[in-house]
């Protein structure tokens, strides 16, 4: 089976083509993965401008689809299933990718699968795993979401907890903006943090031991904001060592909370003898974070939990994760009508599948 996936939920336009090597879709071969990032464009505005994003998706997509087919050495008619992100994301941006995939599906007479972007992130760590998707605790940490999910099988999920306000990536980006770092703030804070002292500022770890798997980062963000006037030099600037200390202290606070909550959830699942307790998978843009990856490695090792990390190119938004979920659903006979809607607030468990005979 050959699957073509399109991602256009935010500021990355991406097309990937996969071939399932085996009937179960484990370890598919990536025939093409092309991506056009709009980060430079949105950086000038300090964040994503929805109108600019959708306009650029519509300019870029036809070229990217042609390029992906060329790279894969196939014609669009040879694709067996077309998949596109249906949400969550920016409405007009989602519509561009979704409509393109539906048009190709209609023109080529091939089925269409509507993919939840969060499911794409959630399953992305298993793309390269010989076992395929196994029961696990999934931690999705992206710019828009922080989710703790018990995954029993593809499509069989329980949401254990989430951020009650800002997503982890959003907190990184907002703090980055306060510190006048280039957009997006996450990678910049990650880059500066190793030069700083993570104990210099004692930022709050909200809800750390509240007995739930929910997190909150808005108080942390405000604490950074209130600290800034106290550390500015007479000329209003922040000394480079102070900047690094702020990055390190903020990042440590986010990671402490994520680690605590992940293992609180894992311990609960273990008490219930859930097979998902033995594996932890990290996904989403913040899964690129160097300190988060190494802390999770140490903590998993100490508890005998297997850690599954996505390949670096599959952490931030990409179309390979969309094609992967599209392929897994198609192999299970789950397709969607061309009337399937896009939804900016799509939840992880919203997409209903329509079995096709
Ligand atoms: O998953 P993603 O590409 O987009 C969403 O679906 O939201 O995640 C983007 C987020 C941004 O907030 C970005 O700052 C963050 O991932 N990010 C990082 C790092 N790389 C990307 N955050 C912390 N450390 C990083 N190295
Ligand atoms: Zn994403």
DSSP codes joined into one string, 273-305 = T-GGGGEEEEESGGGG-HHHHHHHHHHHHHHTP
Going through 176-261 in order, the beta strands assigned E by DSSP cover none
Residue 262: phi, psi to the nearest 5? -60, -45
Please tell me if the CB atom of residue 85 comes closer than 6 angstroms to any atom of ligand 1. no
Q: How far is CA 92 from CA 10, 57, 62, 74, in A?
A: 10, 10, 17, 29
**Residue 42, token pair as written in the block:** 């949105």
Q: Which two tokens stand for residue 47?
A: 């964040």
Mean pLDDT, range 300-328, rounded to an integer: 96
The predicted pLDDT at position 105 comes to 98
In 3D space, the residue among 35, 9, 31, 33 whose CA is nearest the CA of residue 18 turns out to be 31
DSSP type of residue 125:
G
Is residue 353 over pLDDT 80? no
By the 10 Å C-beta count (0-12 exposed, 13-18 middle, 19+ buried), 235 is classed as: exposed
* Residue 355 confidence class, pLDDT cut points 50, 70, 90: very low
Residues 328 and 306 sit within 8 Å (Cβ to Cβ): no
**Atom of ligand 1 at shortest distance to CA of 316?**
3
Cα separations in angstroms, 198 against 135, 191, 236, 246:
34, 14, 23, 8
Q: How far apart are alpha carbons 268 and 263 in whole angstroms?
A: 8
What is the whole-number distance in angstroms between the Cα of residue 73 and the centre of ligand 1?
Answer: 32
Per-residue pLDDT of 157-179, as tens digits, reads 999 999 999 999 999 999 999 99
Between the CA of 64 and the centroid of ligand 2 the distance, in Å, is 19
Short-list 22, 16, 14, CA closest to 3: 16
Alpha-carbon span 151 to 171, nearest angstrom? 26
- The model's confidence at residue 68, banded by pLDDT at 50, 70 and 90, is very high
| Residues 245, 198: Cα–Cα separation, whole Å | 6
Closest residue CA from atom 7 of ligand 1? 143
Task: Tell me how far the alpha carbon of residue 314 lies from the centroid of ligand 1, in angstroms.
Answer: 11
Q: Tell me how far the alpha carbon of residue 295 is from its chain's centroid.
A: 19
Q: What is the pTM of this model?
A: 0.94
pLDDT of 328 > 70? The answer is: yes
Q: Which two tokens stand for residue 12?
A: 């990355």
Q: Are 112 and 229 in contact (CB under 8 A)?
A: no
pLDDT tens column, 41-67: 878 887 788 888 889 899 999 999 999
Task: Report which of 68, 75, 81 is spatially closest to residue 17, judged by C-alpha positions.
Answer: 68
Which pLDDT tens digit goes with each residue over 187-197? 999 999 999 99
173 CB less than 6 Å from ligand 1? yes
**Would you say the CB of residue 316 lies under 6 angstroms from ligand 1?**
yes
Task: Classify residue 58 by its DSSP letter.
Answer: H
Q: What is the pLDDT of residues 6-39, one digit of tens each?
A: 999 998 899 999 999 777 778 899 999 999 887 7
Ligand 1 proximity of 169 Cβ (cutoff 6 Å): yes
For 97-153, the pLDDT digits (tens) are 999 999 999 999 999 999 999 999 999 999 999 999 999 999 999 999 999 999 999
Q: Determine contact, residues 320/280, Cβ cutoff 8 Å.
A: no
Q: How far is the CA of 30 from the centre of ligand 2 (A)?
A: 19
What is each CA distance from 18 to 106, 172, 196, in whole angstroms?
20, 32, 42
Q: How distant, in Å, are the alpha carbons of 30, 85, 91, 345 from that of 100?
A: 21, 11, 14, 21
CA dist., res. 157 & res. 30, Å (int): 26
* Residue 356 pLDDT grade (very low, low, confident, very high; cuts 50, 70, 90): very low
Round to whole Å and give the CA distance between 67 and 203. Answer: 47
231-287: per-residue pLDDT in tens? Answer: 999 999 999 999 999 999 999 999 999 999 999 999 999 999 999 999 999 999 999
C-alpha span between 286 and 171 (Å, rounded): 11
Q: What is the DSSP letter of 326?
A: H
Specify the pLDDT at position 350: 52
Say which residues have a Cβ less than 8 Å from residue 256's Cβ, sequence separation at least 6: 205, 208
| 205 CA from centroid of ligand 2 (Å) | 25
**Sorting pLDDT into bands at 50, 70 and 90, what band is 351?**
very low
């Amino acid at each position: 089976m050959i699957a073509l996936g399109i991602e256009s939920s935010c500021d990355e336009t991406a097309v990937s083509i996969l071939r399932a090597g085996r009937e179960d879709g484990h370890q598919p071969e990536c025939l093409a993965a092309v991506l056009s990032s709009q980060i430079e464009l949105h950086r000038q505005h300090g964040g994503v401008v929805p109108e600019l994003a959708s306009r650029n998706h519509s300019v870029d997509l036809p070229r990217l689809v042609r390029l992906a087919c060329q790279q894969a050495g196939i014609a669009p008619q040879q694709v067996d299933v077309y998949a596109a992100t249906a949400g969550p994301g920016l409405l007009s941006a989602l519509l561009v990718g979704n409509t393109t995939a539906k048009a190709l599906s209609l023109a080529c007479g091939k089925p269409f699968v509507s993919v939840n972007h969060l499911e794409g992130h959630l399953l992305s760590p298993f793309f390269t795993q010989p076992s395929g998707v196994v029961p696990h605790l999934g931690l999705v940490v992206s710019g828009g979401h922080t989710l703790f999910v018990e995954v029993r099988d593809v499509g069989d999920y329980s949401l254990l907890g989430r951020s009650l306000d800002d997503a982890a990536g959003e907190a990184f980006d907002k703090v980055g903006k306060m510190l006048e770092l280039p957009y997006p703030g996450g990678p910049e804070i990650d880059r500066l943090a190793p030069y700083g002292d993570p104990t210099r500022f004692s930022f709050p770890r909200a809800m750390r031991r509240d007995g739930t798997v929910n997190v909150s980062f808005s108080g942390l963000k405000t604490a950074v904001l209130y600290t800034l006037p106290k550390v500015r030099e007479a000329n209003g600037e922040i000394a480079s060592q102070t900047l690094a200390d702020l990055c390190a202290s903020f990042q440590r606070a986010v990671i402490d909370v994520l680690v605590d909550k992940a293992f609180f959830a894992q311990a609960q699942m273990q008490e219930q003898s859930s097979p998902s307790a033995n594996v932890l998978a990290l996904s989403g843009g913040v899964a690129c974070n160097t300190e988060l990856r190494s802390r999770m490695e140490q903590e998993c090792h100490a508890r005998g939990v297997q850690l599954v990390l996505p390949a670096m190119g599959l952490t931030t938004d990409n179309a390979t994760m969309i094609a992967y979920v599209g392929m897994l659903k198609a192999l299970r006979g789950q397709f969607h009508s061309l009337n399937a809607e896009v939804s900016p607030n799509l939840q992880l468990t919203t997409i209903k599948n329509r079995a096709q005979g």
